[in-house]
Amino acid sequence: MDTEQYLSMRRQAFTNDGITAYPSTAFDINGTWDQSRYTDWQKTFLGKTALTTMLNVGIQGGSEKTQFRVSGSSSQQTTVFPGEFTYKKSGVQVNLNHASSDDRFRISFNAGYNLQNNNQPAFDFTYTAKYLAPNAPALYDNNGKLNWENNTWLNPLRNLEAKFKSKTKDLVASSVISYDLAKGIQIKANLGYNDLNHTETRISPSTIYNPAGNQTSAASTLYLTSTQRSSWIIEPQLNWDKDFGESKISFILGSTLQDQISTSFSQSGAGFSSNNLIYNLASASTVRALYSDNVQYRYQAFFTRINYNYKERYIINLTGRRDGSSRFGPGNQFATFGAFGAGWLFSKEKIFTESNWLSFGKLRASYGTTGSDQIGDYQYLDTYTSSGVLYDGVVGLQPSRLFNPDFGWETNKKMECAIESGFLQDRIFFTFAWYQNRSSNQLVGIPLASTSGFSSYQANLDALVQNSGLEFTLRTQNISNKNFNWSTNFNITSNRNKLLRFPNLAGSTYSQTYRIGMPLNVQLLYNYTGVNPQTGLYSFSDLNSDGKVSNPEDRQITADLTPRYFGGLQNQLSYKGWRLDFLFQFVKQKSKIAALETPGLMANQPVRLTDSWKQPGDQTAYQLYTAGYNSAAVNAAQQYNSSTASIADASFIRLK
C-alpha cells in the first residue's frame, strides 16, 4: 500500500475497534511521523541488482594411454540487500586417466579443491521490506548518520553492522584402479577421500543499538563456529565375465568400507573493550563454550551381483547385499537387502531386425529392497550434554537422549517397469517408466509426554508410505549435418505418495499431521466460506456443529501440496563454433501463500487488502481492519492463514 492507502487502513482499524484517541506508540498515525511521507521499502531493501560473474579456464592433453585435464573456476555473487555483500567461490579440478601398454592396468583419478567465502548481513531485510510502514522516517538524518527519529523506531539499517561470515575449504578426491588378472577376471577398487573445514563468524556490535541507550562495546557479542569433517571410502571388487556359447555371465563380488569423523565447536564472546577488537575472542571479558561434538560414523557392506545374458536379448540381474551401520544398536547394526531385474531387447528379435524404422527396443522390470540409516549418530544411546551451569565449581551434565537399542534399518521396497525404444537409428528415442516405492519401518522421533523430561525418542514406526509415478523422456535429433545440429530433450514426471498404514494414528501426536490414504504433504485446513457481511469477520465451516470454530475439531479439510507433474523441454542448437542451449522448466502444483499480518496493525499490507469490510452488508474479499483490540478479528485473521483461502495455484513455467 502507499501512504494514503496505509493510513486509511490504520484509521479504519481504530474506528472499528472503537478507539478515538490514538495510542502514544502509534507513531505512524498519531502525528509523530510525517503522514505525507512515502518510501518504497521493497525497492530500498530488496531493490539492488544481484550480479553474478563466472570465470572458467581449463587445459587438457595427453597421449593414447594417458590423458589429463586441469581446470579452474571462480565465481562471485552479490545480493539485492543494501550494503556490499558477496558470496565468492573458487576451485581447481584435476582429472587423470592412464592405461598400461597392454591395457591390463588402468587408473583414473579425480580431485577437486574448492574455497568459499560468504559475507552476508546477519539479518534478513525481507520482512522489513514487506511490512514497514510506508511513512516510516528517513534512514539517515541531515548529518548523514542513522536516523533514530527521537527514539520512535529501530532503524533497519542498523542491522548492516551485524555481519555473518563463513569460510569453507573442501577437498574431494576419488580414484578407480583396476587390473585384469586373466581373461574375464578383473580386480578393481574404488577409492574416495573428503576433507571439509567450515568456519562461521557472526558479530552483533553495540553500534546496532540506538545511541540514546548509551550502549558501549561491552554489549557487543561474537559467535564462532567451527566444523571439520573427514571421510574415506574403499570399495574393492572382483569381476568375472564368461561366455558360454550364446550365453554370457557376469559376476561381481565386492564390499564397501566407509569411515567419517566429524567435529564441531561453537563458542561466544561478550564484553569487548572496543568494537575494533570484536573479531578477537581473547578480547572478550566473557567467553562461553556453547557446544562441542566429536562424532564417528562407520559403514560396511558386502554385495554380489550376477548378470545373465542370453543371445544379447534376454537379461537377468540378481543382486544381494549385507549392510552394516554404526548408527544402530547391538543386534540391529546389520540388515540384508536384494534386488531382481529382467530385460528383453525385443529389437533383437528377427521380426524387428529386418525393420528400417526400429533401431532399439527394450522392456525391463525390477524389484528390490534397500535400507536407510540417515538418522544421525548415537541415536540409540542414552547420552548426556554439558549443562553449562556450575555447581560447586564443576560444570554439570544433563541427559539429552533416552536409551533405545531396538530400532533398526528403515526398509524401502522398489518396483519399476519400463520400455525404451529408438527409431530411425535412434534419431527418436523415448523411455516410459512406471515405479512404485514402499517405505516401512521409518526412523522418526516419537513424541513423549513432557513428564518424561524428553520431547521425543528415536524409534522405528510401523507405518507404510507409498510413492508411485510415471516418467516419460523423449530425445530427438531434429537436424544433423556438417555445420548445423539441433536436438531436443523432453521429460515429464508425475509422482503420487500416500500413507497406507499408520497404527493408532488417531491416538498419536501425528493425528493432525497425516491422513491414511492421503499424501504426506497434505495440509489440514479450516474450510473458508468468505467474509460474513454482517459481522465483517472471516467465516469458516463449523464441521462438528458445536457452535464454534476450533482446532483441531474444525481443521479437517485436506489440501495436497505435492506437485501434480513437472518436467522440462530443452533444445540444443549448434552452428559451426556457436552453441545455444535453452530450457523450459514447468511445474503444476499448489502451495500455501505467504501468511498475512492481521490487517490494521502497524504493518503494511498488499494493495488487494483495500477491499475490506467497513459496514454491515458489505460484500468484500477481506475482513474488517483491527488495530489489535478486537480479539475475534485477530483470531479470525490467524485462522484465515490456516484455511483453504491460504492455498493458491503455484504452477509455473521458467525459461533458462
Distance between CA 419 and CA 346 in Å, rounded? 10
542-583 pLDDT, tens digit per residue, is 999 998 999 989 999 999 999 999 999 999 999 988 999 999
> CB count, 10 Å around CB of 222?
22
Kindly state the DSSP code that residue 452 receives in the 8-state scheme.
Answer: G
- pLDDT at residue 395 in the model: 77
Distance of CA 584 to the CA centre of its chain: 22
- pLDDT at residue 383 in the model: 80
- pLDDT at residue 438 in the model: 93
Q: Which residue do the cell numbers 545373465 mark?
A: 308
Distance of CA 520 to the CA centre of its chain: 17
Global pTM reads 0.83
Instruction: Name the β-bridge partners of 350.
Output: none
Distance between CA 305 and CA 317 in Å, rounded? 7
Q: What is the amino acid identity at position 525?
A: L
Residue spans per domain, the chain: 314-520
pLDDT over 90 (residue 331): no
Q: Which stretch of 204-213, 380-389, 568-577, 614-623 has the lowest confidence by average pLDDT?
A: 380-389
Could you tell me if 242 and 303 are in contact, meaning their C-beta atoms sit under 8 angstroms apart? no
54-103 pLDDT, tens digit per residue, is 999 999 999 999 999 999 999 999 999 998 999 999 999 999 999 999 99
Cell readout for 213 is: 541507550
Helix residue ranges per DSSP H, 24-78: 41-46
- As a dihedral over the C-alpha atoms of residue 98, residue 100, residue 105, residue 109, rounded to 10 degrees, the angle is -10
Nearest residue to 199 via CA among 229, 220, 234, 157 = 229
Distance between CA 365 and CA 434 in Å, rounded? 9
Distance between CA 579 and CA 405 in Å, rounded? 58
CA atoms 641, 647, 648, 652: torsion sign: positive
Q: 3-class SS at 259?
A: strand
Nearest residue to 238 via CA among 294, 282, 175, 189 = 189
434-488 pLDDT, tens digit per residue, is 999 999 887 676 777 777 777 777 677 788 999 999 999 999 999 999 899 999 9
Distance between CA 641 and CA 224 in Å, rounded? 37
Q: Which residue do the cell numbers 531387447 mark?
A: 345
- 510: confidence class by pLDDT, cuts 50, 70, 90: confident
